[in-house]
Structure 1
Amino acid sequence: MANVQMHALRLFREIGYNATTVEQIAEAAEISPSTFFRYFSTKEDVMITDNYDPLLIASFEKQPPELSTLQAVRNAMLSGISELSADEIKTMRERNQLIMSVPELRAATLNNLTQTMQLLTEMIAKRTGHKSDDLAVRTFAGAVVGVNISVMFYCAENPEADFAKMLDEALAKLEEGLPL
C-alpha cells in the first residue's frame, strides 16, 4: 500500500492530480489496476487512506485514567506522529499540502475525518462512561477533529511548520478553553 501511495504522490507532484490516472499509478507501482482497486476504492483514497486510526485507538487505550479525556486524546494523537520517521513526516507534509490544495481530496478528507470523529466519539464515550450519542461527547470529538483540520490548513499554508508541534499547541489552546 505504501509503495502505491509513494508512486501516486510522485505522479501527482510531477503531472498534477487531475492529469494522473489510476492506470498510471498502477503502472508506476508495478501492479494491475484491479490490484489498485483492491486497496483503494477511488483515486482520492490513495492519498486519504492511512493506518493512523488503529494506532490512535491503541495509544488512547493505554493512557492513564488520571489524565483528563482531552489530555488522553492529545497524548494519543501526538504519540502516533512522534513515531514517524523523517521520511514519513516529509511524505505526510506533501500529502497534506496536496489534500488541502485539491478540492476532491479536501472533500474526501472531510468524509474521512467524519469517520475519525465517530471513532473518537466511541473511544471517549467508553472512557468516560457516557453514551456515544451524548451531545457533549460528540461535541468534544468534533472540537478535536476541528483542531486537526485547522492545523492541516495551517501546515499546508506554512510548509515549514512542524505538524506535531502545531497540533500540540492547538490542542493546548482547546484545553485552555480557547482564550483569544
Structure 2
Amino acid sequence: MNYQIGSDYHDGSVYHMAERHSTLRARRRAQTQRTIQAHAIRLFGERGYDGTTMNDVAEAAGVSPMTVYRHFPTKEDLVLTDRYGELIAEAIAASPAGRPLVRRIGDALVEAAAAVTGDDAAADRQALLVRLQLMISTPALRARHLDNQYALQQAIIDALQGDAADPDAAFQAQAAASACLAALHTAMVRWAEDDGRSDLPHLIGRALAAVFGDDAIGPER
C-alpha cells in the first residue's frame, strides 16, 4: 500500500515537473520570437523591407539564421505574424452567445485593437503601425495579407460556432466575419496612413457603424 502511494506521488511529481518544463519552453520560445520580430520590424523601418535580409535580422537579434527560419519560415512572416487574431478569437469566445454576430465580432475587434494600442502597450502599438505601413507599401506583403485575412476569418468563425457544425450557422458567421473584417481593414489602412495619430479602436468603431449602423456596436464607441 505504501509503495502504491509513493508511486502515485512520484508519477504526479514527474507530471507536474514535465508540465512546468513545457510551459517554460513555450515562454522562452515566445520570447525569442518576440525578440526576433522586434529587430526585424526595426530594421524594416530603418532600411526598408527589400533592403533587409533574414541574415540581417538574425545578426541583429543575436541568433542564428536557422533560428530565425524556425520561428518565421518566410520573410513575410516576420511582418504578418501577430497575436491580434488570438486576442479577437478569445474575446469572441468569451462574449454572450445570444448577442448578434456583428456585435460579438465588432466589439472583439475594438477590444483587441485597444489592447495592442493602449497607453501601456507603446511598443506593440509602434510595431503594429510599422507592420501596417509595410503591408500597404510592399506588394509581396499585400498578397500574403489576404491569406492572413482568410485565416483570421476562419478563427472568428470557429470562435463563434464553438463545437457546433450547423452549415447555415457557419454561413451566417462567415458573412458577418467577412463584412466586419472589411470594415476593420478600412480602419487600419486609415490609421496607418495617418501615421497612428488617430485612435484605432475609435476608427474601427466608426467603420463598423458606417457599414452596420450605430446599433451594431456598443454605445461607448
Q: What is the TM-score of this pair, normalised by structure 2? A: 0.72
Find the counterpart in structure 1 of residue 52 from structure 2. 20
Match of 2:204 among 151, 167, 176: 167
Structure 1 residue 139, shift from structure 2 partner: 2.1
Find the counterpart in structure 1 of residue 149 from structure 2. 113
* Identity score, percent: 29
Find the counterpart in structure 2 of residue 56 from structure 1. 88
Secondary structure of the structure 1 residue equivalent to 2:95 = coil
1:67 equivalenced with 2:103 (yes/no): no
CA deviations on 1:78-110 (whole Å, 9 max, x unpaired) are: 222222312211221121111111111111111
Take 1:168 and 1:128, find their aligned partners in 2: how far apart are those partners? 29
Q: Is the 8 Å Cα contact of residues 117 and 142 (structure 1) preserved in structure 2?
A: yes
* Deviates further, 56-65 or 106-115: 56-65
1:83 equivalenced with 2:119 (yes/no): no
1:7 equivalenced with 2:43 (yes/no): no
More helix by percentage: 2
Unaligned ranges ≥5, structure 1: none
Structure 1 residue 43, shift from structure 2 partner: 0.5
Take 2:147 and 2:166, find their aligned partners in 1: how far apart are those partners? 25
In structure 2, what residue type is equivalent to 1:174? V
In structure 2, what residue type is equivalent to 1:32? S
Q: What is the TM-score of this pair, normalised by structure 1? A: 0.87
In structure 2, what residue type is equivalent to 1:167? I
Structure 1 residue 25, shift from structure 2 partner: 0.4
Match of 1:36 among 47, 51, 68: 68
Larger radius of gyration: 2
Find the counterpart in structure 1 of residue 22 from structure 2. none
Q: Is the 8 Å Cα contact of residues 114 and 200 (structure 2) preserved in structure 1?
A: no
Find the counterpart in structure 2 of residue 158 from structure 1. 194
Runs of 4 or more, structure 1, over 6 Å off, are none
Find the counterpart in structure 1 of residue 17 from structure 2. none
Change (3 A) 1:145 1:94: same
Change (3 A) 1:56 1:127: farther
Please provide the CA RMSD for this pair.
2.2
Take 1:133 and 1:68, find their aligned partners in 2: how far apart are those partners? 12
How many residues end up aligned between the 2 structures? Answer: 177
